[in-house]
Amino acid sequence: MNVIEVHNLSHHYNGKTVYQDLSFTVPQGSICGLLGKNGQGKTTLVNILMGFLKPSGGRCLVLGESSHSLSPDVRKRIGLLHEGHQAYEFMTIAQTEKFYRGFYPDWNADIFYSLVNKMGLPHRHKVGSMSCGQRSQVVLGVIMAQNPDLLILDDYSMGLDAGYRRLFLDVLHDFAAMEGKTIFVTSHIVQDLEQLVDTIFFLDQGRITRTGLTEFLGSFKKYVFHSNSQVVPIEDEIIKGVERRRDQFTVYSYRDQDTVTEQLSRQGVEVRDLHRADMTLEDGFIGLMGKY
């Protein structure tokens, strides 16, 4: 069963086409990361999924309903984390708990307080006077206490230091381990996603590509070599990405080492000590999408 189904989605903004005919699905139980460079419409897509933007065309179904007109019953099953960990800053911790409790029949105050109490703040502490990290714990507490079936997280790592990010990931891991829970997440810290997701969506120039994390890390490869030649590798069908630091070059490809070496010499590039290197998700992301 698909939790998210997007068919022929198109969106225009100020007369500019953001995307045309975008289609993908997110099956129940999968943990998906949406990756894309700035300006590729990542925020727009998340906004459409969250129901805060009516697409210009196509269909976007979340839990079987149009995302821009979700019924309260379906909204109850979706946990949203807004960019910048949006929370009502005029509320205290206790008031926040009291506020949300009224809306969710399965509300679990213990989960909320177990997360929030880690910060050691009194419950009458105002959300507005918290640090971004502290606020993120309150927001996480709210979402987890709702016990949603689908989590959509818009750049959860924004403004968080390593500690809070780790804390966040821990909680998400526990959540993901539960039966039938689905997570759709974006983050600008790609490295974190590697520890969380099982499926990746690459959004680039109006196209979306879906791949499994292990599948991607296995098939996309990073090769390192040295070269003093004036000729620099060029991206083509085989060579997907090129990085250079002084005389050390890194190229990315789905192909094996021999094919890559052959292609480089065909391009007239002098190649010394070409070998396959360990590739992180961030490396792969840069290799596939480029830096800018």
Partner 1 sequence: MISSILLKEWLKLKYLFAGVLVLNIGVCLKIYFDIRGLILSEHPEMIWYEAIHLHNVFFKDFMFFPLVTGLVLAAAQFVPEIIRRRMRISLHLPLHRDLLILLSVVTGLFFFMVAVGISVVLVYSTMRSWFPLEVSMTVLTTMGPWILAGILGYLGGMAVLLEPLKTRKVFLTIVFSVIISVMYMGVGYGWMSPAMPYLVWLVPLFLFCVFNSGQRFQQRGA
* Binding residues vs partner 1 (CB under 8 A): 43-44, 47-48, 50-54, 68, 72-73, 75-76, 78, 80, 82-84, 86-91, 95, 98-104
Strand partners, 203: 208
Determine contact, residues 126/89, Cβ cutoff 8 Å. Answer: yes
Phi, then psi, of 226 in degrees rounded to 5:
-110, 155
Q: Closer to partner 1 at the Cβ: 91 or 274? A: 91
Shortest distance in whole angstroms from residue 145 CB to partner 1: 14
Q: Closer to partner 1 at the Cβ: 71 or 265? A: 71
Shortest distance in whole angstroms from residue 261 CB to partner 1: 46
Q: At CA 279, angle to CA 247 and CA 259, rounded to 5?
A: 70
Shortest distance in whole angstroms from residue 160 CB to partner 1: 17
d(CA 73, CA 186): 25
Judged by DSSP in three states, 88 sits in coil
Shortest distance in whole angstroms from residue 207 CB to partner 1: 21
Shortest distance in whole angstroms from residue 71 CB to partner 1: 8
Q: Indicate the residue type of 179.
A: E
Q: Closer to partner 1 at the Cβ: 37 or 210? A: 37
Q: Closer to partner 1 at the Cβ: 22 or 260? A: 22
Q: Closer to partner 1 at the Cβ: 145 or 200? A: 145
d(CA 242, CA 250): 6
Could you count the other beta carbons within 10 Å of the beta carbon of residue 162? 10
Give me 119's structure tokens: 């910060």
Judged by DSSP in three states, 38 sits in coil
